Amino acid sequence: MAAQREAGVPEAADRAVPDEGAGDPAAAKPWAVYLLHCEGGKSYIGISPAPQARFAAHQAGKKGAAFTRANRPHTLAAVVWFEHRRAAASMEARLKALARPAKLAWFEKFATKDAARLTTLDQALASLKRQEATC
Reported as a pLDDT band with limits 50, 70 and 90, residue 101 is very high
Domains of the chain, first to last: 27-134 (3.40.1440)
Give the SS3 label for residue 83. coil
Sequence-separated (6 or more) residues with CB below 8 Å from residue 11: 1, 4, 5, 93
Residue 9: the pLDDT is 38
Query: On the CB side of 113, how many CA atoms lie within 13 Å of its CA?
Result: 3
Residue 77: the pLDDT is 95
Give the SS3 label for residue 35. strand
* Listed residue (37, 42, 20) closest to 120, CA to CA: 20
Residue 55 has pLDDT above 70, yes or no: yes
**Helix 121-134 crosses helix 85-96 at what angle (to 10 degrees)?**
20
Reported pTM: 0.76
Task: Give the range among 84-88, 98-102, 117-121 with minimum mean pLDDT.
Answer: 117-121
Q: List, for residues 23-49, the tens digit of each pLDDT value.
A: 565 557 999 999 999 999 999 999 999
Q: Do residues 34 and 79 make contact, with C-beta atoms less than 8 angstroms apart?
A: yes
Sequence-separated (6 or more) residues with CB below 8 Å from residue 26: 49, 85
Task: Give the range among 7-11, 47-51, 98-102 with minimum mean pLDDT.
Answer: 7-11
Strand order in the sheet with 31-38: 42-48, 31-38, 73-82
